[in-house]
A and B are shown apart, each in its own frame.
Chain A
Amino acid sequence: MALDRLFNVARKEFSDHITSRRFIIILGLFLVISAIGMHSGIENYNTMLESYSLQLQHMQDLEGPYAGWMPEKPSIMLVFSSMMSYMTMLGGILAIAIGFDLVSKEKETRSLKSLLSHPVYRDEIINGKALGGVGALGFAMALALAIALAMLLLFSIVPTLDEFAAVLVFGAVSLGFLLAYFAIALMMSTVAKESGNALIYTLVIFFAVSSLLPMFGAMAANAFAGDPPEPPQMPRMPQEIVRTASSGGYSTTSVSQSVVYGGNEDPEWKAYEEEMKTYIEKRRLISDISSLLSPQSNYQTIAIAVTQPQIFSMMQSPYDTAPEEKPGLAGALGKVWMNIAALIVFPSAFFAATYVKFMRMDIR
């Protein structure tokens, strides 16, 4: 494979994408909606910041179970978490829009035959197409992040170095998510003879992995985990231990119930808690395995870990006490390594299948 030929294909594909009406319209829509979302996110952030300042003032007067609790300063990543929801829908559509007819259109217009008659290998063509698509999606992502950062600066919000790193990671993860759907679209474009069919096949897979798969995962989790354990009869009112944590724009309060009997916890309740914990972990395991096949679920899991590590940490361990210290970016990413791996493996598998199919494609 020669790089000059590969880049010739990639350059043409990239240029085709960023000048196509379809790409410009969807990207424009995505950017406008993201900007609106960012704006409301920034307003939320500013409100949270004011609330944080007020909480700091009130903390000194607080007594009881809340004594000693320090509110956490909201992170600007809150602003980016609003982008996540738009990314999963409009971003996915953008990725599908640029990939679904990449090969099928060439078959329909017979330009593939003309192209293949010149000195270029098939792998250079398909890799160039993939590279051009990745470049276009990277361009879209970079543009979205640049606008987001510009808006932050416009509102006099300057991210710290850690926050900036988190923004870059968020961008990379979002690009990984877009690549997953781009890879599906490219694969379907290679398999189908017509672009219309390629689009239909891609949308079917899109909805299957984004909606059906998590739903089946939940159903499977219910089926395999069985019924939840029954709580024992309560001899007396349990004592509530309230743990509160805030991160970004969200405050999460976890309430765990403990029954104290004669100075010790009720052994029946303790056993129930243990059973419940095992039950929830079993359910989560089954649900997590099916979610690994869904780029949407993986993306959301990673994005929450990056943008709201505190919330993510509490979601992961509802039975544990809230962590005293805010988990770092590396720590958050470490907890979602399987989702990161899945987000890499998913498009890679589709790219590999596309490659094999394209190399063996009949071009009569």
Chain B
Amino acid sequence: MIRTENLTKVYNGKAAVDGLDLEVGEGEIFGFLGPNGAGKSTTILMLTGMIEPTGGRCFVDGIEVANDPLSVKKIIGYLPEDVGFYGNMTGEQNLDYFARFYGMDAKARKERIAELLELVHLDGVAQKAGEYSRGMKQRLGLAQALINDPKVLFLDEPTANLDPEGVREYRELVEHLAGEGKTVFVSSHILSEVRVVCRTVGLLAKGKLAAQGTLEEVARALAPADGDAVRIVVETREHLPAIEDPAVIDIERNGNRAVVRAKADIRDRLSAALFEQGLHVREMRLEEPEIEDVFMAAYRR
């Protein structure tokens, strides 16, 4: 549904997005991760037809965005970071103004706006958008992004201004939209948020795509290279005896607990050997780096 080919954007001689190749399938909830300034928002601006790439191409539903931005805008919804509205108009009036660009007649607009305001819990709010709290603006932003019932939804830092209840509702909404077959592209620098709602992720660092796939795949791809070694955590009820296996590289001991660094996953052999010695194994697992740590390390690189 979304595809970029060598997508590049240069500002003042510096590449904000540098040769990005990305693919997001239909109906996916894709998390676009990266630290601030990595080029996430610039990528979204190019994907939504709001700025033109310096090089490369991007496609949404097979339409090349730079060639036909208006057709793309008709099938997408976009919630910008720090979304803004016309302060002198109510939420309903703001939505009505935007809805007119889609050629919707008065009845269709009225029905759609009522439906969306109810969805984001802003129905019955008579105050002007200029008097809205940041959370209310964010919710109105979601409504304006959905005004045309889009096929693809781009959300830039969608939970930035939401309270916990708002975040919960946002998650339910995204799940609901994905259930309808919509593709959701969520840009965020908050890993914990992305891992809750997204099925696949891409990590952008310094304008380049560092990794793409499921969270586990990306974490594995980004994990620091340690040869082919695996780390096995072992804990027994009794004092841990010496472990002799040709695959073992080294062992860090701590009483009845140890972290075994081995050339391969030798948990089957290890558990059998301990069992033969009459030991009771309390824990035996592969130690994998925390995803947060992996991403943090990737952010810092």
Contacts and interface: CB of A to CB of B under 8 A. Distances in A.
A12 B80 contact: no
B185 to A, nearest CB: 13
Nearest to B97: A12
B64 to A, nearest CB: 16
Contacts of B4: none
B97 A110 contact: no
A321 to B, nearest CB: 60
B82 interface: yes
B144 interface: yes
Contacts of A106: 84
B244 to A, nearest CB: 61
Contact of B73 (A109, A111, A117, A363): A117
Interface string A63-94: 00000000000000000000000000000000
Contact of A120 (B80, B83, B101): B101
Interface in B103-150: 103, 141, 144-145, 147-148
Contacts of A362: 11, 51
B50 A114 contact: no
A106 B74 CA distance: 22
Interface stretch (B85-93, B162-170, B245-253): B85-93
B78 interface: yes
A119 B48 contact: no
- Among B51, B82, B84, chain A packs the most CB atoms within 10 A around the CB of B84
A8 B101 contact: yes
Contact of A118 (B11, B86, B98, B141): B98
B98 A115 contact: yes
B275 interface: no
Contact of B100 (A8, A109, A111, A114): A8
Contacts of A8: 97, 100-101
Given A116-B50, A364-B42, A109 B101 contact: no
A357 interface: no
A4 B78 CA distance: 22
Contacts of A5: 101
Contact of B88 (A16, A110, A119, A364): A16
Given A5-B101, A12-B97, A114 B87 contact: no
Given A363-B51, A364-B42, A118 B84 contact: no
Contacts, number: 69
Interface residues of A, number: 24
- Among B50, B76, B147, chain A packs the most CB atoms within 10 A around the CB of B50
Contacts of A16: 86, 88
Contact of A111 (B45, B70, B85, B148): B85
B212 interface: no
Contacts of A251: none
A110 B42 contact: no
Contacts of B76: 117
Given A5-B101, A114-B144, A364-B41, A119 B74 contact: yes
B88 A113 contact: no
Interface string A315-327: 0000000000000
A109 B87 contact: yes
Interface of B: 11, 41-42, 45, 48, 50-51, 70, 73-74, 76-78, 80, 82-88, 97-98, 100-103, 141, 144-145, 147-148
20 contacts: A8-B97, A12-B86, A19-B88, A106-B84, A110-B80, A110-B83, A111-B86, A114-B85, A115-B98, A116-B50, A117-B50, A118-B101, A118-B102, A118-B147, A119-B101, A119-B102, A120-B73, A363-B50, A364-B41, A364-B45
